[in-house]
Structure 1
Amino acid sequence: MTDRPAVLAVDVGGTTIKSAVVDGDGKRRLAHAVPTPVADGPAAVVETLRRLVSAQATAARAAGEPVTAVGVVVPGVVDTSRGIARYAANIGWRDVPLRDLVRTDVALPVAVGHDVRAAGLAELALGAAGDSADALIVVVGTGIAGVVVAGGTVVEGHAGIAGEIGHIPVGDLEVRCNCGAFGCLEMFSSARAVSRMYAERTGTTLAADQIVARLGEDADAREVWRSATATLARGLVCAALLTDPQRVVLAGGLSAAGETLREPVAAAFAAGMPWREAPELVVSELAGAAGLVGAALLARDAAEEGPA
């Protein structure tokens, strides 16, 4: 990205909305994050996003590095050609014309993409999947979703939702997911799930990273982590048997746990396919920044294409 103008990247998650100005060398500046006001409803999330984009664009101008385009990545079902956030279970919005709304605010080219697919593009371009023609990139954050790469190409699927590994029913079928189905992987192995399961066992609410930090001294934390990683491995087995990747990349906020996540998942992943060699399992170097990097790549494309 050397010698290119700066762009604004925004990654909307179920817990946090992250943003950064990405300069021509790919460096992230003016990084800022705000809580996602999910409890206040989808309209509040949209308003918070719009305020953040406007504020960051203003800050970039004041810093002498105005942005030339905006890339916004969001969870759920996304119509990327029209810039519409069709549906997201963890946010609750439906058919939100994000591209038009944000473009009205900042008068710049705007790209809207799927957060996990954007993270997958980042991993292909700059991360751990770059030398793998066939890969599965799994983003484990507030929710869980994946990107399937086959023959060096991201698989879209008929409805554009290939790789929705978070809704494979490999957990307790008595537990209902926010999507309306039962037993979904992300209800048992996401950061939100780790926090929920720990609270159910102990009555104490902690963030997933706090629970990971307690593994050496807290038996409840260890049991929750054992369950979460074992269930994640079952989901990966299902996905790997269907897509046959050379490499599986764990990305997203929970991947910041590094080997504490990779080791138990890798062991259970291999055990789930005793008749074949398991694909290589690695942790992304981009970790929780993969979505932002992907949003910046989308913004670059929008800047080159100019106003829609």
Structure 2
Amino acid sequence: MQQGKVVGVAFQGLGGADAQNVGYMIPTPVIGHFLKDIADGHYDRYMDLSIATFPLMNAAHRRALGLPEDDRGLAVTTVGSASVCAGKLRSGDVLLRIDGLDIQSDGMVQLEGERMQMAEVAERKYKGDKVKFEVWRDRKLVTEEVTFERAWPYTHQATSYEPPKYVVFGGLLFQPMNRNLVATYQFANLRVFHHFAHFIEEELYKERDEVIVLTALLPDPINTYLDEFREGIIRKVNGTAIRNVKELAAAFTKQADEYVIEFEGHGRPLVLQRTDLEAARARIRQRYNVLTEQFLGEDATKEAR
């Protein structure tokens, strides 16, 4: 409380030998945004422009672009194909104004009497809202309007507070990669780290929505000598490309004499016979107390109900 008003909700504190009287709070603007967002019963999350920008404070750079010396303008360097700005903004555009607010050359705007990052304007929007840009493009002034049709869909690099998704098949544990998984397993496979670090930058989401990793093997005769595939990233199952954990579960559900699993960077596939799988299923579940062979996310659980 400050001057009789709520300024935030405390949610974490540090004490003991590490620190004293150190706490963290969720500010009221974030709380207000959340409450308004879920008023319809569905949380759409924060909106995001999903573009990369570069400050235009260098005088020579500004002259080369034909910009006046008015300390306005933020250069667009990248527009992701999954961004809400795709088809509206381009690499090389210079953003001059957003919703009528001047964008300074360092990317800041004057909002409610304070200097804030331009992204704050977008983050205050809700699904379905629009934002209008004044853009300097090819030495001409144009106007572009962007609609927030959805939140940025690829959030694996953020900390997740949802139960981990997984599929157990033939004693093999498959999980979609996210920050929690990477921190927990400390993968030795550099390919996994590359997909984690460059998933957005290299637009790897064009090939898959989730990066599915073989994280563990529950030892059983059916998966003997398969340790070389540990930490492998799944590409295909029986010739079908796998984009996410739901597609992986569906591929394993289909009846087949054998299941051929291809991994990124492996010269040979992992092959499991259906007859062996049927014989091993109950044995593995009992030995390792596997109560549920898959969890595909809370949304999938609700749909199943």
TM-score, with length taken from structure 1: 0.27
Write 1 or 2 for the structure with the bigger share of strand: 2
Larger Rg: 2
Higher helix fraction (1 or 2): 1
**Does 1 or 2 have the higher relative contact order (CA < 8 Å, sep 6+)?**
1
TM-score w.r.t. the length of structure 2 is: 0.27
